[in-house]
Structure 1
Amino acid sequence: MADGLSSFWGPVTSTDWCEKNYVYSSYVAEFFNTISNIPCIVLALIGLVNALRQRFEKRFSVLHMSNIILAIGSMLYHSTLQRVQQQGDETPMVWEMLLYIYILYSPDWHYRSTMPTFLFLYGAIFAVVHALVRFQIGFKVHYMILCLLCIPRMYKYYIHTTDTNAKWLAKLYLATIFLASLCWLSDRMYCKNISDWYFNPQGHSLWHVLMGFNSYFANTFLMFCRAHQLGWNPKVVHFLGFLPYVKIQKPKTQ
């Protein structure tokens, strides 16, 4: 505990990270790991407003809201370093991946009710089990498997996309997840060395920021692909010349 500050939340019961605890406040265990979730919330709100304003399918509104819930769960976890809050961060991570799987694979799924039913039950059972059992490596392996299940479909969408700007969204998605993974691994594997540096680069905080952009790019790319499937004439435009989003033009009959 840094600077003699007492902890409001009590002893650490969750996985701890490389950032020193309670440096800036006795109410926030990991300050930078907490506030670094804010960009994810802001980007998800932008995506949600765009999805609602242009009346995209509800699945995308739910997807953006799941990003917000995940970021809030992460903030609670890193600010308290308690086991319950860690589970409140990890369970939405799995739910979000199940939602991605649904969005990616449902267009070609012939039995429409079976996939959402199975994914809902899977998510509910996982939440119960995760509340009772404390996973370590098992959770990471499980989450990685869910991520890997998305890759073939994302690649299929990429190779069938001819729009240059949309392809750039996919490339930005890959670049941010690669850089974020490097930050996460560096923070986890070389914490002892990093802690001796004069300046801690806060690799886990950078992971949060980069994954916020990663989720936004992924969501935007999927919105473009789905709009193209539905014949909504999508195009990628940029807000303030920087942030990409999808603009659609639905047929008048819709």
Structure 2
Amino acid sequence: MPSIFAYQSSEVDWCETNFQHSELVAEFYNTFSNVTFFIFGPLMMFLMHPYAQKRSRYSYVTFILFMVVGLFSTYFHMTLSFLGQLLDEISILWLLASGYSIWMPRCYFPTFLGENRSRFICFIVATAVVSTLLSFLRPMVNAYALNSIAGHILYIVFHEYKKTNNKELRHLMEVSVVLWAFALTSWISDRLLCSFWQQINFFYMHSIWHVLISITFPYGIATIAMVDARYEMPDQILKIRYWPRDTWPVGLPYVEVSADDKAC
């Protein structure tokens, strides 16, 4: 049995040809396409700093975990090792757990927890710990299980979309869902249509997934922050902004916070 540190000890092998450009990097494009995580992570941490000061400094944990996902994904695709696979998937799990803990609206909490966020956080952490342990038993199904969580997130976005009349928030939700759909299509396509991509000598669908999902992250964070504010920050006025300029056709969304002059 090969060491969990060994190159290609993972059962997962993506469509890109291995060691085509380097003897040290198993999947060249899948490895270096993770650079977007290290660009958008610090940038979002900077842009969302005023919001985090108002809402919760634990928000920084999510941005840090986003960069950790990029780090472990880089390691995994460079080595295709079993350890790299587990670190990649477990870091995604804890990224989702942190987002749920901070931003999940109380009205969507399980009924047995009431609307107590402390209990909810304990529940999420316990679930993440158990899932982490189970991930060692069935590593092949981890990625599919993690992607399935998006179904619950879409359910929440759908209900909040119907509740709001804010056109900017509706647009943000629509773009977020479209970006996620394109990203997921790239991921599934690489897994299920590899023979087709090999025939046309195009091995980059998983690399495209990395880029698209890292772009989806800022849109998702801005969306859930705006949704959360409706419940947790009723005395604050939040505005959706885009970096580098609001007037540009393409930009990175973030949330600007200003105090409401009216007393509640």
Q: Normalization by structure 1: what TM-score?
A: 0.86
8 Å contact kept, 1:19–1:202: yes
- Residue in 2 that maps onto 1:209: 211
Deviation at 1:67, TM superposition (A): 1.2
- Residue in 2 that maps onto 1:113: 118
Deviation at 1:115, TM superposition (A): 1.0
Matching of residue 238 in structure 1 with residue 234 in structure 2: no
What percent of counterpart residues are identical? 21
Give the match's secondary structure for 2:253: strand
Give the match's secondary structure for 1:245: strand
Distance 1:194 1:36 in 2: 18
8 Å contact kept, 1:100–1:150: no
Give the match's secondary structure for 2:186: helix
Give the match's secondary structure for 1:18: coil
Which amino acid is the alignment partner of residue 60 of structure 1?
S
1:22 corresponds to which of 19, 22, 27: 19
Where in structure 1 do 4 or more consecutive aligned residues deviate above 6 Å?
none
Deviation at 1:111, TM superposition (A): 2.3
User: Can you list the C-alpha shifts for 1:162-197, whole angstroms capped at 9, x where unaligned?
Assistant: 222222211111111111122112211121222132
Q: How does 1:41-190 map to 2 (within 5 A)?
A: 41-54=38-51, 55=53, 56-108=55-107, 109=109, 110-131=115-136, 133-137=137-141, 139-190=142-193
Give the match's secondary structure for 1:136: helix
Distance 2:151 2:102 in 1: 15
Give the match's secondary structure for 2:8: coil
Query: Structure 2, unaligned stretches of length 5 or more?
Result: 110-114
Query: Structure 1, unaligned stretches of length 5 or more?
Result: 1-8
8 Å contact kept, 2:48–2:254: no
RMSD after superposition = 2.2
Which amino acid is the alignment partner of residue 238 of structure 1?
Y
8 Å contact kept, 1:106–1:112: no
Give the match's secondary structure for 2:228: helix
Distance 1:69 1:61 in 2: 12
Q: Does 24-33 or 241-250 show the bigger shift?
A: 241-250
User: Kindly tell me: are residues 92 and 24 of structure 1, through their superposed partners in 2, closer, same or farther at Cα, counting changes over 3 Å?
Assistant: same
Deviation at 1:40, TM superposition (A): 2.5
- Residue in 2 that maps onto 1:33: 30
Which amino acid is the alignment partner of residue 211 of structure 1?
I
Deviation at 1:50, TM superposition (A): 2.1
Give the match's secondary structure for 1:113: helix
